[in-house]
Amino acid sequence: MGLIRILRLSRPHALAAIAFILVGVQCGIIEPVFEQAGVANPFTTCDFILVLLAEVLIAAGGFVINGYFDLRADLITKPQRVIVGRDVSRRQAIASHFGFTLAATILALIPAWHAGRLLLCVLFPLAAGLFWFYSSTYKYQFLIGNLILTVLAFALPLVPFMYEVQCVDSSLWSMAALGAFPLAEAFQKILGVSVALAALTILLALVNEVQRFTKSADLGANSLPVRIGLKGTKLVVAGLYLVVLALFVGVALRSLLVHYDEFGYLFTPLYLLLAMCPPVVVSMLAFLVGDQYSYYRFAYWALALDFPLLGAYLLLL
């Protein structure tokens, strides 16, 4: 029973979206590179699953520790759904964070050993430390907390790729130099996924700050709404909404122009314009038109839909 409550605190819907995106990157971007080259991927499925689990556990620990430090604010914004201090004790929350971090580091150690780069597993406790300091301190400082979340989101799909690169032997690098092993192209695509995740994450974080502000739950935080007011924040966030939309539309147009002579070339433009853009537009309208907590909450969850949609896109590539 206690484990189920801790799992609720770790936001399983967000963890599922993270796993979905990582599987999408692996199956939709990385594996086709090896299939095209006609060689087996030295970074095995087992290794990938271990890295995926490690990243999910770090995120789970981050959500748990965030719930621990967010207790006072949650009692104001969502008192009926508070878990820490009721269903899960504060001590259990701290222990869970350390347990998730330790388990993630151990899991990441095995594929790091296979890749011959044990230092790779150090990335996971470092990320856990960033989550801790974000939740305890930086979250309440002007833009610093948002930037930390953005960096963590940006790094999410790059970590398995770092393991992947370390497993590639010299013969495959020779093929890459000759253009028969398009690893650089895969890196560019993963970088694009990282940029999309980072943009969506900072936008989601700012929408969440406005949610808290309308409920007077900042509790001394030096957030963007506190610093420049609600109207100024709406202008900044509206600009970010437009940046995200421009990013999706730009990628759709580029795909249309570059891959027009390939089979299925319409898939990416249509998916981005008809699946990825509508939640952003709906979220933006709710955010800009509304002036109550319920509007901002709706805007938050509408925007959050783009994370699983991004994972679905990668799997369908």
Mean pLDDT of 35-58: 91
Strand partners for 84: 88
Query: Distance (Å, rounded) from C-alpha 131 to C-alpha 134?
Result: 5
The chain-wide mean pLDDT, for the chain, equals: 88
pLDDT at 33: 85
pLDDT at 82: 72
Mean pLDDT of 161-185: 70
109 alpha carbon, distance to own chain's centre? 22
Mean pLDDT of 57-82: 81
Q: Which of 71-80, 129-138, 239-248 reaches the highest mean pLDDT?
A: 239-248
The residue type found at 82 is: V
Say yes or no to pLDDT of 235 above 90: yes
Mean pLDDT of 2-23: 88
Confidence of residue 309 (pLDDT cuts 50, 70, 90): very high
| Contacts with 78 (C-beta within 8 Å, 6 or more apart), sequence order | none
Pair 313, 271: CB distance under 8 Å: yes
Pair 194, 206: CB distance under 8 Å: no
pLDDT at 1: 47
More confident residue, 68 or 251: 251
Give the count of beta carbons closer than 10 Å to the beta carbon of residue 60.
26
Confidence of residue 258 (pLDDT cuts 50, 70, 90): confident
